Amino acid sequence: MSLATRDPRRHLPLLLAALSMIGPFSIDAIFPGFPDIGRDFAVGDVALQQLLSVYLLAYAAMSLFHGALSDAYGRKPVIVIAMAIYTMASVGAALAPSFAFLLGCRVLQGLCGGAGIVVGRAVVRDTMHGEEAQRMMSKVMMIFGIAPAIAPIVGAWLLGIDGWRGIFWALSGFTLALTLGVSWFLVESHPAERRTVFRPRPLLAGYMRIGRDLPFWPLAISSSVNFSGLFLYIASAPQVIRHHLRLGADGFPWLFVPVVTGMVAGAFISGRVAGRVSAARTVSWGYMAMLSSCAISLVLSLTLDTPRVPWSTLPLALYGCGVQLAFPTLTLLLLDRFPEQRGGVSSVQAFFSLLMTSLVAGVLSPALSGSMLTLAVGATAMCSVGLGGWIWYVRLERRRLAAATACPAASVVSQIEGNEPG
């Protein structure tokens, strides 16, 4: 079967899941190497945190362009070129002679690392619709969910082989293999006749059009802030593991395994109920799980004399499950607001998500990681903001449907809670 006639969906789950893993591996795998990097370059904890902050800021800035570039030049070329540059940046990081050089390589990694997940969401929507798209998104996120747990374990293992530089050598090998895999197996889903022109003025006009769409904002807020509550713990992992739980470099699974277990479970459930349970109910289940997790974490933080495993980290499984229950539906609702500009919408959504995670990594994590209680309060606040965004969106849709169809209230509610996510 030729490339032109292959089913474009055949290899999507594995390819997109592998592309999605780059972000967690770029962040979590280097955590066990922080002490060694600090010793080698004589830098402190604040400087080491920049390895995360500069990556996320570059990731956020470039995510505004990945989708638009794929709308103009095709999905496949953008992913392949970005992965190739990421590979070279990882090699540079492994050979870094100074901390400044290492930071520069992290910036380059951030500029390219988001191409796979941003463009990948557009690929899903190019090739699938309705419950099939939700199932695919859930399947990808279920596979993706193992990355945060594997990354710090692999990072700690690599420390014993080649120190912190071995982590970046592993990243370069992974992305080189991924570049070759995407080149061969990914089928272009955005043909030339549907492509737009990549120019600053049309690009800015397109983003302004997205920005003027009122329902876009509550969906963007909800989808971005939900994960930030979980990422607060991930960004604070060195502090949580080494200082609060008093564990060594091999203690990171106590934090990441519950998170990943919950995320995989949530993605699995989301895929199973696609087409059977309404979009609104799936998102509501997600928020019930997230808020329950926050409540349990608050109670444990107030009642335990000192944080301990597994109790202090176990509630994160419930939070991760809630995030993944809500995320596929929220993402598809966003993409469906602009069917002809899905790459651009995915870029804007990724930009806001990365701004939030950059804020968490650079500001909130250092400010709130002093205790498990302050971390629980911060996660609860972010989850509440996300819930507020979802409630805002539901109310806007109810008003729109009521104005368009003049249906009674009960009929309007039944429409917004239909089986289709968009």
Domain-embedded: residue 2: no
Which residues form the domain of 69? Answer: 12-416
In tens, the pLDDT along 363-374 reads 888 889 889 999
Q: How confident is the model at residue 249 (pLDDT cuts 50, 70, 90)?
A: low
Domain-embedded: residue 392: yes
377, pLDDT greater than 90: yes
Of 6 and 334, the one with more pLDDT: 334
CATH code assigned at 159: 1.20.1250.20
Pull the structure tokens for residue 150.
């594997």
Domain-embedded: residue 3: no
Angle at 395 between CA 220 and CA 402, to 5 degrees: 125
Domain-embedded: residue 358: yes
Mean pLDDT of 296-307: 91
Domain-embedded: residue 120: yes
Residues 6+ apart with CB under 8 A from 168: 90, 91, 93, 94, 105
Mean pLDDT of 146-153: 67
Return the pLDDT at 67. Answer: 77
Domain-embedded: residue 421: no
Return the pLDDT at 2. Answer: 46
CA distance 69 to 63: 10
Of 147 and 231, the one with more pLDDT: 231
Domain-embedded: residue 383: yes
How many structural domains does the chain have?
1
Q: What is the pTM of this model?
A: 0.70
Domain-embedded: residue 53: yes
- Which residue has 């080491």 as its token pair? 48
In tens, the pLDDT along 82-126 reads 999 999 999 999 999 999 999 999 999 999 988 887 787 777 777
In tens, the pLDDT along 264-296 reads 888 788 877 877 888 788 899 999 999 999 999
